[in-house]
Structures are given as structure tokens and as C-alpha cells.
Amino acid sequence: MPKSSIWNRELVEKYNIAGPRYTSYPTALQFNDDFGVEDFKKTLKTSNVGKPLSLYLHIPFCENICYYCACNKVITKDKSKADRYLVALVKEAEMIAPYVKGRKVTQIHWGGGTPTFLSNEQIEGLVNKLRELFEFDDDNGEFSIEIDPRSVDNKTMASLAHAGFNRLSMGVQDFNPEVQKAVNRIQPEEDTRHLLLQARRHGFDSINIDLIYGLPHQTVDSFNETIDKIITMAPDRLSVFNYAHLPHRFKPQRRINAYDLPSPQEKLRILESAIKKLTEAGYVYIGMDHFALPHDELTQAQEHGDLHRNFQGYTTHAECDLVGLGVSSISQVGNSYSQSMRGLDEYYERVEAGELAVWRGCYLEDDDLLRREVIMQLICHFKLDFSDIEKAFNINFKEYFADELESLVRFEEDGLLNLTDTGIQVNDAGRLLIRNICMAFDAYFKEVNIIPTYSKAI
């Protein structure tokens, strides 16, 4: 297909409204505190039927604050703050491990915050403890960690590789010095380039770099320079996120001068140019801000229909239950979602008292499971076969989703997708707007209520 065919400015402007990113369905807005510790234990018990596991560990600490950040984090330069947290994290893991005994861990992701806030010894010690509690699939496992290039050296890279990590994700956001100063994240290009080379030498299978468009002082030309530099580094994956300026929700963003942000029109031009450059350089647009080289597992999984999406983003491990460890972490187990306490004090209070830190969650009803499958098929593969859904859920698709199919007609008229008697095929122009297409199947989506909550589609 033509490399620029996914971009249509008129359609992007028409459909650029706020909406969910669908790392889950229902989204976290539907979580409630009626779902508690006993519910989580019940789902762990009933789902323990041999399916593999994915573990997510949240390390909330950061030494410095990045003004754009919307993550759940604790800003401190006091490294001793991690000591109590690691004790609690291990205790939480010890409480969960008996419920999942015998299940192989095929995926691990450490996020934050900044996982490399921990010392090399703390990271290796925590990994070793997790290996005692859970059965790692070392032959086929995908073990990834987010790193801060500003605080990682070759010794750390060697330590991470020795601990068993085989994938890295590093934040860059933008190499322009003026942009970096405006968001309080000074990170020289040379340091990032050197670190990526070290990661290659230590044998990491896949390296991801995060970029953000829409930051203060960004222009098409300045972001093009960053993209050009990234292309020469050749990371396996790239995430190009849309900066959502929501200072009423995220206090650090109040330090960003809104007048320094690119206009909506300039922001679209920045994204258009970035997509053009990346696709011309050989990157495949996976969807939802993500790009990957043709050899990468994400690209291969999408081609073979094996791609999946969860709270960690796109993944090749569709069959896993996801268990979250740490403050604010989210689990997806069986037909349920759950989230741990968001505040560190509340998390400590629960875990140190010998109880799991479940704060809220929800059970998925039959309709939720059905709609989740429809949305995940569309968002991962840009197509949907009605018969697959009908067989899996014992429904007549056209009757069950008559209203939803009617609402898709406007997308078809605009060339975003094709509706046939047997399914839905998202066209190239619809790939960037896949969130909008998925919203048609979201029973909870009410546009009037979500605008202050979600970022825009583009």
C-alpha cells in the first residue's frame, strides 16, 4: 500500500475527538469498590487452570519530575525510600503465588515511575525472589523493563541482561534542547545512542523508544530532526504518543505554559510528517501510536492474527492472565479486572497487615466479554469476521449489533472501512482512527461525559 495512505487530514480533523485507548474493555472508568480482595482471590482460584501468566510490577519512584507525565509516581532522590517498598512488593507476591502455583510466567513487564531507580543489586534480588515464587518460562519468556537513559550505564545494562531481561523500553520524548528544558527532562542524544548500542551488545531481543508529540516548543521541523536521529538508531519498536494537556487532572502539567504548546493544526502536521518518515524508513504502523520493524514480534503477530492488547499495550501473549504487583497496578484475571491502592500509604497499610491491596475492580458480564472481543479484534487486526464472533458467543452478529453496524455507515461513507455481509475491514485511512471505530461497540461510551477524562484520538 502507499506509505502515506493512512493519513487523511480532512478525516483526521473530522474525527479527532476524545475517547478511550482500549487497553481494556470495559475501561477503568467502570471499576468500582464493590469488587474487593475476596473477589480477586476468587478469580485467581477459578482461573488457575494451567493458562500462562503475565506479571506487571509497578515501581513508582522517580528522581526528577517530567512535567508532561501522567503516571502514578513518587518523586524523591532518597534511594532508601525503595527499601520498604521492596519488602511490601515481595510480601504481596508471596500472598499471590500460592493461587497460581504451577502456571508458567511467560511475560514480565516492569513499569513506573522508573524501575531503574532501584540499584542493580535490588533489581537482581527482586528478580531472584520472584523466581523462587513463580515458575519463569526462560526459554520462551518475554521479560521487559522500562529504563531511564539518564540514570543507566553499561554496568546496569549488563546487570539487567544477567537478571534475565531480554527487552527494553526507554523514554526519549524529544531530542530538542528547548523542548527538553520546557518539560524538565534533559537527555542528550549521545547518551541515548550509546545506551542503545550497549543494549544491542548485551543481547536484548527488542528495544522500544517512546516519543511524544504535542510538547511545548515542538514544530514540524524540530520533531523531524528527532525522528531522523531515532531512525539512525533503528530501535525495533517506536511509540509516538499524543501529549494530552490535562492540568486539571495532572498537577505537574501545570508547570507547562499552554501558550508554548503547538496549535492543533501544527500538532497534526507534526504527526503527519512523523508517520511519513517512519513508514518510509520501513516501520510498520501497528496501531494506536505504535510502530515496529518488519522482523519484530509485534509485526509478525499482527500478520498472523496473534496480536493482543492489554494494560501493557500491544502484546503477543494473548492467552495470559495478567497479575499486577505494586501500588496502583492493574490485573486482568479470568472475567475480571482489579486495581491495587493508588496511594503508597494505603498500599503499605494493606500489605503490611497481611492483606492484598485490592482497591477496586469489576466482573465482566457476557455482553462485556463479547464487546471486548470485537474491540480487540478491530484494534489489533483492523478486521473482523462475523462468523468468528458468532461461533465463539453463539449470537447472530447482525441482529445483536444492528445499531452499531448502522452507526458504522458514516465511517464507510468516509472511506474508513468496508462493511460486507461477512465482516468489517478497516481501510488504510481508518487505521489512525481505529479508536473512533471501536467506540461504536462501546456500551459505556458517552461522548459528553468523557471529554475531560480521555485524550483525543490524534
Query: What is the pLDDT, as a whole number, of residue 263?
Result: 94
Average the pLDDT over 26-40 and give the result.
95
Fold of 24-322: pyruvate-formate lyase- activating enzyme (3.80.30)
* pLDDT per residue as tens digits for the range 136-158: 998 889 999 999 999 899 999 99
Residue 373, classified by CB atoms within 10 Å of its CB into exposed (0-12), middle (13-18) or buried (19+), is middle
- CATH code at 1-23+366-458: 1.10.10.920
24: nearest Cα among 313, 366, 437, 328? 313
CA 186 to chain centre: 24
Cell numbers given for 36: 474487593
Tell me whether residue 415 is annotated as binding: no
Cβ(74)–Cβ(113) below 8 Å? yes
Query: What is the pLDDT, as a whole number, of residue 317?
Result: 79
Give residue limits of the domains in the chain. Answer: 1-23+366-458, 24-322
Average the pLDDT over 423-430 and give the result.
95
Query: What is the pLDDT, as a whole number, of residue 457?
Result: 58
Tell me whether residue 362 is annotated as binding: no
Tell me whether residue 380 is annotated as binding: no
24 vs 56: CA distance, rounded Å: 15
Query: What is the pLDDT, as a whole number, of residue 448?
Result: 39
Tell me whether residue 255 is annotated as binding: no
- Are 1-23+366-458 and 24-322 equal in CATH topology? no
Tell me whether residue 185 is annotated as binding: yes
Tell me whether residue 249 is annotated as binding: no
209 vs 183: CA distance, rounded Å: 18
- When the pLDDT of each residue in the chain is averaged and rounded to a whole number, the result is 93
Tell me whether residue 244 is annotated as binding: yes
Cβ(258)–Cβ(245) below 8 Å? yes
Cβ(293)–Cβ(25) below 8 Å? no
**Taking the complete model, does pTM exceed 0.75, yes or no?**
yes
Query: What is the pLDDT, as a whole number, of residue 122?
Result: 98
Tell me whether residue 430 is annotated as binding: no
Tell me whether residue 402 is annotated as binding: no
Residue 183 identity (one-letter amino acid): V
